[in-house]
Amino acid sequence: MLRVGLTGGIGSGKSTVARALADLGAVVVDADAVAREVVEPGMPALSAIRDRFGDTVFGADGALDRPALGRIVFGDPEALADLEGITHPAIWRRTADLLAAAPDDAILVHDMPLIVEKDMGADYHLVVVVGVEEDERRARLVRDRGMSEEDAQARIDAQADDAARRAAADVWVDNNGTPGQLDVEVRRLWAERLEPYNENLLHGIRARRPDALTLSEPREEWATEAARLVARIARALGPRAVTVEHIGSTSVPGLPAKDVIDIQVGVSSLADTDAADFVDVLARTGFPRVGDVAHDNAKDGAEWPKRFHGSADPGRVAHVHVREVGSAGYVWARAFRDWLRADDAAREEYAVLKMELLAQGLSTSDYADAKEPWFDSVHERVMAHSAHSPG
């Protein structure tokens, strides 16, 4: 089951995207609908709200006056915390029931406004953010929901800004255009990423790049993309992972690279990673095991064992290298990254080598092998740098 977190600022059109995904076949769990359900008349949370906030947040019919309550809590952090303390336990119990009821092969979309604010991105395979310029969102709130300019801006200011949303977004859905343009973008997302990703998850298939070698210019996004993957893997493995970190060429600012994110997972014992629960939890998180065993090309004549997993996400190819903490391969991966980050001349030397090999028209597998002599030649420099580095 592919778990998608769908979010966006108030007035962004997130609910429109949720409806479109439901029409395409997604199972949508609407956090706002659940929040309304748990404060319906007769529900325990409603009585607790009356005790805390009084009759002024209730209508004549005894139902909760949500706009009146909103005006109180969105300008008062203490009041908001009190409200969340009442409603959140009930919301999460009901949400858990709805999530558990979804079919195993479903694409499950959790329509959740506060994914960014609550730092929940690691709970999903993908976070989809619906983005609209702030001025347009404010105008929509005034026009479509009857808010004053002041209330609309207060609601916007109470949420994360677009910089935080972009850092959390695996997919950014631009809703500044027409409804037709939005529909096309959502359908493309469904067909090109969500459906293939779900199929890969169900069958334990990793996404791969074409074997023809291409190199990308350095991208600032690699660091934030890696941070999201690191968070998901760390959340899934818990204490079984001693370290989870970004390695490889995309972890080195300014270095051209294949558009592949490399993640190293450090474990106490490599033998523990062959346990079914370790393999299964990574597969369910979107990183199926590739082969039974794997090895790095050693620099000291010995075998450097590891376990290898690949990302099932067709929109973000990633390699996960699981190595024992303190092993030669684990130490080398970190030391090589840190050397390239610190040494401008070494980074340029490696970049020149990459471009020379690219010009030869190599496949990606031949490219990896062709770099090995250079790795061997710089081994002592890498380890000397590591020995003199703090920590």
Annotated binding-site residues for ATP read 11-16
Do 18 and 30 form a contact (C-beta atoms < 8 A)?
yes
End-to-end CA distance of the chain: 41
Binding-site positions: 11-16
SS3 for 275-336, per residue? CHHHHHHHHHHCCCECCCCEEECCCCCCCEEEEEEECCCCCCCEEEEEEECCCHHHHHHHHH
How remote is the C-alpha of 89 from its chain's centroid? Answer: 24
Strand pairing report for 261-267 and 107-111: unpaired
Taking each helix axis as running N to C, give the angle between helix 149-157 and helix 134-145, from 0 to 180 degrees, rounded to the nearest 10.
130
Quick one: residue 133, left, alpha or beta (phi over 0 = left, psi -120 to 50 = alpha)? beta
Please spell the DSSP secondary structure of 176-235, one letter per residue: SS-HHHHHHHHHHHIIIIIHHHHHHHHHT------SB---B---THHHHHHHHHHHHHHH
C-alpha distances out from residue 216 to 145, 204, 344, 355, Å: 45, 28, 19, 11
Q: Tell me the one-letter amino acid at 311.
A: S
C-alpha distances out from residue 142 to 68, 73, 75, 373, Å: 16, 19, 18, 64
